Structure 1
Amino acid sequence: MAKTSAISVRVSDETKQAVEKAAEEDGRSVASYVERLLTTHLKKEGYLPK
């Protein structure tokens, strides 16, 4: 699937620091980490095909 759309969100400094740490520990960029979280959740909830 081509990545042609962007989403911008504002989060607290605490949340940003936490996601940066989690992404680093997972060997991913923040964008890749957040995309993985969203995709996993949306598949689980039936919004995206599994």
Structure 2
Amino acid sequence: MAKTSAISVRVSEETKQAVEKAAEADGRSVASYVERLLTAHLKEQGFLSST
């Protein structure tokens, strides 16, 4: 699926630092890490198909 849409969100400095650390530990960029978390949550909640 082509990635053509962007989402901008403001977070606290503490949250930003934590997500940067988590993304690095997972070997991902922040954008990739956040997308993975968001996609997993949306699938769990039934808002996004699992296919």
Normalised TM-score (structure 1)? 0.99
Size of the aligned set, in residue pairs, is: 50
Normalised TM-score (structure 2)? 0.97
Aligned to 1:2: 2
Unaligned runs of 5+ in 1: none
SS in 1 for 2:23: helix
> Over aligned residues, Cα RMSD in angstroms?
0.3
Q: Following TM superposition, by how much is the alpha carbon of 1:4 offset from its aligned partner in structure 2, in angstroms?
A: 0.1
1:1-50 matched pairs, under 5 angstroms: 1-50=1-50
Identity %: 84
Unaligned runs of 5+ in 2: none
